[in-house]
Amino acid sequence: MSIKVCMMSARHYLLDGRIYNREAKTLLANGYEVLHIGYGNEDKHYFTEDGAEIIQLKKLKKGGSFKTAFQSLRQSFLADIFEAAAKAKADVYHLHDIELCRIARKLQRLPHKPKVIYDAHEPYFENFLDFRKYHSLPKTLFNDIPALLAEKSFLKKADLLIATESNVGERFARINPHTAVIHNYSYSDENLIQSVEKKYDLVYSGTINEERGIEFIVDAVYECKKRGVDVSCVIVGNFETKHHEDSVKKKIATYNLDSQFHFPGHIAFDDVFSFYNESKIGVCLLPRNRTFKITLHVKLFEYLHFGLPIIVSNFGHMKDIAETDKVGFAVDPYDASEVADKILYLLKDDRWQQYSNRCIEVVRKKYTWQEEAKKFLTLYKNMLSQEEK
């Protein structure tokens, strides 16, 4: 009889790259039954081509009728997602967001005694310190702080803790010995790499908000333009707010760079690859803060997989990768002149091709999901063989 795993998320996309394309697909390919429960714009229940069951619960808005307000209040306490998860009677509940720590012990206490995994995608405490200024007071008091307290309480009780990088992993390991780091490396599939015409000099892929440094890219492209070089850039992803989108596009227009930037919006995971194939350099210019000094950004490994040398901020894991593996440059993101120097250096003569070959070689040797998947499956096997807590 197969083991049933219920992935759960409160804020992640149900077909998220790590949750679905890496972890869920790995489990499915090795005989596990996988269900993912999370939130979206409407209620949905379907099966993917890979065989995963998806239950999407409608994310309710505050206000409206008394009934809607009551349902929204229940949802704020995660009652709906807990009910759906309990009904599934899974052998393993794999939690992917800090909010879900608030119901983690309830899941462990279900009559069938399931295992509960907490998979921390980010350093949430540092996130709170860095980004609380963007949150309303009610969100801080009734969501952020309770979630952080619940995480702290649950860490000792978790059947397995998973982190995506070493800093959080070491912090967890001091609390619970059942801790492991599973990196967000990309699949090594050279069939995805296509020899096509390069349409873009630069590519950025991922979340687009005020904390992700898109303005640094705009400033660098403008600096290149002042030097007589029109650098093209594709920004793949959705803006989180209309206000920020308007601000960025106004800046682009002010610099007369409209023809040099392309915004395709949010696209399917596999479709992002076409933009990587059509680009030369991957950029990740993040502002300096506690979170980004710790976070290991998945987009870096995607860039490298497609032979894109990287230009990144000069701190944290990204600096180490760029410099240690010699696959790009770490720069001061606030210095548009320095960023432009490195862009133009890589684009000159045959330097880009030399770096591109190096990127593909490094990924093949060091940064593949296939190797992480073996560790991931071993963790599951060992956890399921543990005696009850």
The pTM assigned to this predicted structure is 0.84
Domain containing residue 122: CATH number: 3.40.50.2000
- Do 208 and 92 lie in one domain? The reply is no
Question: Can you name the residues that pair with 141 across neighbouring β-strands?
Answer: none
The reply to whether 342 falls in a domain is yes
The reply to whether 90 falls in a domain is yes
Whole-Å CA distances, 24 to 19, 28, 214, 298 = 6, 6, 31, 17
- Do 159 and 22 lie in one domain? The reply is yes
- Do 233 and 355 lie in one domain? The reply is yes
Q: What band does 126 get if pLDDT is binned at 50, 70 and 90?
A: confident
CA distance 70 to 131: 29
The reply to whether 353 falls in a domain is yes
CA distance 32 to 376: 13
CA distance 346 to 156: 48
Total tally of structural domains belonging to the chain = 2
Q: What is the pLDDT of residue 222?
A: 98
- Do 13 and 97 lie in one domain? The reply is yes
> What average pLDDT does this structure show over 12-21?
90
Q: What is the pLDDT of residue 389?
A: 47
- Do 310 and 377 lie in one domain? The reply is no
Residue entry with tokens 């960025």 = 248
- Do 248 and 298 lie in one domain? The reply is yes
- Do 76 and 197 lie in one domain? The reply is no
- Do 146 and 130 lie in one domain? The reply is yes
- Do 9 and 108 lie in one domain? The reply is yes
The reply to whether 116 falls in a domain is yes
Interval 259-274: pLDDT, tens: 999 999 888 777 899 9
The reply to whether 18 falls in a domain is yes
Interval 315-374: pLDDT, tens: 999 999 999 999 999 999 999 999 999 999 999 988 999 999 999 999 999 999 999 999
pLDDT at 62 over 70: no
Q: What is the pLDDT of residue 69?
A: 47
Interval 170-184: pLDDT, tens: 999 999 999 999 999
- Do 203 and 337 lie in one domain? The reply is yes
The reply to whether 202 falls in a domain is yes
Q: Whole domain around residue 140: which residue ranges? A: 4-185+369-384
Q: Which tokens go with 120?
A: 């921390």
pLDDT at 283 over 50: yes
CA distance 166 to 338: 30
CA distance 5 to 53: 10
The DSSP-derived string for 263-319 is EEES--GGGHHHHHHTEEEEEE-PPP-HHHHH---HHHHHHHHTT--EEEESSHHHH
Q: What is the pLDDT of residue 350?
A: 80
CA distance 116 to 93: 5
The reply to whether 322 falls in a domain is yes
In terms of average pLDDT, the best of 45-54, 76-85, 147-156, 350-359 is 45-54
- Do 233 and 144 lie in one domain? The reply is no
CB 188 within 8 A of CB 359: no
The reply to whether 389 falls in a domain is no
- Do 120 and 60 lie in one domain? The reply is yes
pLDDT, the chain, mean: 90
